[in-house]
């Protein structure tokens, strides 16, 4: 049955069938023709995969991100970031990265960051003398921080699948997200210097910093409110998503007064579309995973990996390698839903901390978002600049190398992930 499931899935995928349909159809074939099941069991198993209170956070954070991005924060956020790092060498590239780090605390989505806040600065970078290659590369790679710094949609999905604390995953992503941002700024500095991009005139201005800081305060407070309400035990991460929705509406509609009814309608429609796609993938992947598990695929993977070594670090590297390879070809949510239930028992058997593993997997998923053939962020950034992915990859390599350095440091020093999680009650 394992061969039937995998061959059917990859054939459908090669024919251009959407991944949710490829997973669902191949699993349905196994259930109906090989396992003797019925369409009733198909529906029940798909619903089981989607029926999670933790997953309710996905549409909430998505909607909050859309309302905040449409509610007037983008220009103010850019001004605030520019007042901090804009006058260093490679200033606008640094602004791109820093704005992604801040917006990461609002949307929880890398693709939303690419098309939203970071996408706004791309024309300015080209106008100031940055090459299109550098502009696209820094925009794509910086947006991957969006799924590491809380809130994070992939982390919500992982927590929902494994039944672990979403709050701990959120907190575990803070230091890695900051490390990724600093690493990307360091690379941007050297690349901008190599390209001879002129340095912005002037020096740090405290008055400008305070002005933009005050104007951006509602946006800057949002991540603090989300993480703070979770760490103090006042609300669950899902309930914090509801707070984020209300806060986004108040900030955009009453404070900035730029959020119109048309924007709210747009946010609703886009949230429904985005969430529906994610939940359909989750339900189909759950169905496919159940069939793989019934066929013994999980035992085969466990025996293969443990046959290589029982050292936790080596097993962790193997797990990350699997996700790195798979996310180059599969959508991240489908990969998580498909492989996390299989990988989790193996990790627990050798003593790998689930929070450490989950945060590292999220970082690896970010790499998958900027590597072809399914790197959504790199495709979105290239579309915005009307470039081909192949033209950008050489410039992207130093950023990927910096990401791997951060990943290696996190593997060597997992305390960087676990330190903030002690705050969770």
> DSSP for 175-233?
HHHHHHHHHHHHHHHHHHHHHTPPPPSS---HHHHHHHHHHTHHHHHHHHHHHHHHHTT
Q: What are phi and psi of 235, to 5 degrees?
A: -135, 165
Q: At what angle do helices 19-29 and 2-14 cross, to 10 degrees?
A: 150
pTM: 0.85
Query: Tokens 């959120």 sit at which residue?
Result: 170
List of long-range contacts for 408-412, beta carbons under 8 Å, 24+ apart: 409/179, 410/176, 410/179, 410/356, 410/359, 410/360, 410/363, 411/313, 411/316, 411/317, 411/320, 411/360
Residue 111 is predicted with a pLDDT of 61
Closest CA to 365 of 356, 374, 355: 374
Of all residues in the chain, what percent carry a pLDDT higher than 90?
26
| CB-CB neighbours of 310 under 10 Å | 12
Reported as a single tens digit per residue, the pLDDT across 242-253 is 888 888 888 888
- Say yes or no to pLDDT of 117 above 70: no
pLDDT of residue 425: 45
CA distances from 315 to 9, 232, 334, 346 (A): 27, 34, 22, 8
How confident is the model at residue 113, as a pLDDT? 59
**194 has a pLDDT exceeding 60:** yes
Max avg pLDDT among 69-83, 101-115, 256-270, 314-328: 314-328
Instruction: Give the pLDDT of residue 106.
Output: 67
Using left for φ > 0, alpha for ψ between -120 and 50, and beta otherwise, residue 372 falls in: beta
Q: Would you kindly state where each structural domain of the chain is located, as residue ranges?
A: 55-422
Cα→Cα distances 365→154, 259, 370, 410, Å = 9, 32, 9, 15
Average of pLDDT values for 26-31? 83
The per-residue pLDDT for 34 is 64
Average confidence (pLDDT) over 185-206: 86
Question: What's the CA gap between 18 and 12, in Å, rounded?
Answer: 8
- From CA 319, how far away is CA 312, in angstroms rounded? 10
Average pLDDT along the chain? 85
Mean predicted confidence (pLDDT) in 185-203: 87
- Mean pLDDT along residues 360-385: 84
């Amino acid at each position: 049955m394992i061969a039937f499931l995998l061959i059917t899935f990859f054939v459908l995928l090669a024919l251009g069938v959407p991944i949710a349909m490829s997973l669902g159809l191949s699993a349905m074939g196994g259930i109906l023709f090989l396992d003797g099941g019925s369409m009733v069991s198909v529906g029940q198993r798909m619903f089981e995969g989607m029926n999670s209170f933790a997953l309710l956070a996905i549409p909430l954070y998505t909607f909050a991100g859309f309302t905040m991005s449409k509610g007037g924060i983008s220009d103010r956020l850019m001004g605030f970031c520019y007042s901090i790092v804009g006058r260093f060498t490679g200033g606008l590239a640094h602004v791109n990265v820093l704005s992604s780090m801040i917006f990461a605390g609002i949307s929880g989505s890398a693709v939303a960051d690419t098309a939203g806040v970071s996408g706004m600065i791309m024309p300015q970078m080209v106008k100031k003398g940055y090459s299109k290659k550098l502009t696209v590369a820094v925009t794509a790679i910086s947006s991957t921080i969006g799924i590491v710094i809380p809130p994070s949609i992939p982390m919500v999905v992982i927590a929902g699948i494994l039944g672990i604390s979403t709050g701990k995953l959120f907190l575990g992503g803070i230091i890695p997200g900051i490390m990724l941002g600093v690493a990307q700024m360091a690379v941007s500095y050297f690349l901008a210097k190599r390209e001879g991009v002129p340095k912005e005139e002037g020096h740090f201005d405290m008055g400008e910093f305070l002005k933009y800081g005050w104007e951006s305060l509602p946006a800057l407070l949002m991540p603090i409110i989300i993480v703070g309400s979770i760490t103090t035990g006042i609300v669950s991460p899902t309930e914090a998503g509801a707070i984020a929705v209300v806060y986004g509406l108040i900030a955009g509609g009453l404070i900035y007064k730029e959020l119109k009814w048309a924007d709210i309608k747009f946010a609703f429609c886009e949230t429904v579309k985005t969430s529906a796609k994610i939940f359909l993938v989750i339900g189909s992947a759950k169905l496919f995973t159940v069939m793989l598990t019934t066929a013994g695929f999980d035992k085969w993977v466990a025996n293969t990996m443990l046959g290589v070594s029982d050292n936790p670090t080596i097993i962790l590297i193997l797990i990350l390698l699997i996700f790195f390879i798979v996310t180059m070809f599969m959508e991240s949510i489908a990969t998580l839903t498909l492989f996390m239930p299989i990988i989790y028992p193996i990790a627990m058997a050798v003593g790998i901390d689930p929070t450490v593993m989950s945060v590292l997997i999220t970082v690896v998923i970010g790499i998958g978002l900027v590597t072809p053939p399914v790197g959504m962020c790199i495709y979105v950034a290239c579309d915005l600049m009307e470039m081909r992915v192949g033209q950008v990859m050489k410039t992207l390599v130093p950023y990927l190398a910096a990401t791997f350095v951060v990943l290696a440091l996190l593997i060597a020093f997992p305390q960087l992930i676990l330190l903030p999680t002690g705050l969770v009650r």
